[in-house]
Amino acid sequence: MAKTEKKKKYFEAVGRRKKSVARVRLVESSKNNFVADGRKLEDLFKTESLQKIVKEALEKSGAKFDVSVLLSGGGLKSQAEAARLGISRALVKFQAELRTELKKAGFLKRDPRIKERKKFGLKKARKAPQWSKR
């Protein structure tokens, strides 16, 4: 009773933004199904703008994939941007010609901005206590 099910080829990549990490897996399919942490896209990213951020790279390429994303850390916006970067990197592995188009749109650039650490004697990273002359 051996299964003769054919394994589908997939493309895997990692996207990061701030503290968020998105492990993305694209499987060739006839429709664009999206699963993030076992939930549908609409259940995880409730706002239209966050859903648009995640889907941008797929729409730009015009390819049809089942997308599976494992997210960790950060907030919803940074998770969405990390997922977009991961999807873009996986699409480049799928088809190298997409690189110029995705790069021009800015989807292959990892945003390096992260939170600056708090310094001692200050209230936050740069905010100092109110200065008093006397």
pLDDT tens, position by position, 42-65: 999 999 999 999 988 888 888 888
Predicted confidence (pLDDT) at residue 95 exceeds the cutoff of 70? yes
Q: Residue 1 domain-assigned?
A: no
- Would residue 20 count as lying in a domain? yes
**3 Rama sector, left if φ>0, alpha if ψ -120 to 50, beta otherwise:** beta
Residue 97 sits in a domain of what CATH number?
Answer: 3.30.230.10
Q: Within a domain: residue 53?
A: yes
Instruction: Output the pTM of the full model.
Output: 0.85
What mean pLDDT comes out for the span 92-111? 90
Full domain range(s) for residue 67: 10-105
Q: How confident is the model at residue 2 (pLDDT cuts 50, 70, 90)?
A: low
Q: Is residue 92 part of a domain?
A: yes
Q: Is residue 118 part of a domain?
A: no
Does the pLDDT of residue 121 top 90, yes or no? yes
